[in-house]
Amino acid sequence: MKKLILSAAFLGLGVFGFAQTTAKADHSQKKAEHLQKLKQELNLTDAQVAQLKALHESKAADRKAEMATKRVDRAQKMKENDAEVQKILTPEQFKKFQDLKAKKMAERKEKFQDRKSAEATVVK
């Protein structure tokens, strides 16, 4: 059991370490290479490698579902907040509030895109 947990930890660290710097096509290749490296270093059987791969895939699916749930919850909370703000502000103030919020969101999106493109040039 300890070996399985330790192997999963190594697998997770290796996979997530590469996730920030590789393209999606390279990502699956890197995962396969990492599994082969673990297989050699830890003297794993094919069954153990398959179990680790299945464990990683199920955990990834769980994380994806959890993120989707959090996204829905966050959107719901934002709608509730907007409804409460709308009760406090006049219609003109609320419209201006929405415009300011949209402008700030656009600025954040632009900064994110700039940062993403800068990281992409550093990686290459």
**Statement to judge: residues 40 and 94 lie in one domain:** no
Close Cβ partners of 49 (under 8 Å, ≥ 6 residues apart): 35, 38, 39
**Statement to judge: residues 31 and 53 lie in one domain:** yes
Nearest partner of 101 among 120, 81, 118, judged by Cα: 81
**Statement to judge: residues 47 and 62 lie in one domain:** yes
Q: What is the pLDDT of residues 92-116, one digit of tens each?
A: 999 999 999 999 999 999 999 988 8
Q: What is the pLDDT of residues 51-101, one digit of tens each?
A: 999 999 999 999 999 999 999 999 999 999 999 999 999 999 999 999 999
Q: Can you tell me the distance from the alpha carbon of 82 to that of 41, in angstroms, rounded to the nearest whole number?
A: 55
**Statement to judge: residues 119 and 81 lie in one domain:** no
State the average pLDDT over residues 27-45.
90
Count of the separate structural domains present in the chain: 2
Contact 7, 15 (CB under 8 A): no
Q: Which helix (H) or strand (E) holds 5?
A: helix 2-19
Residue 52 structural domain: 2-88
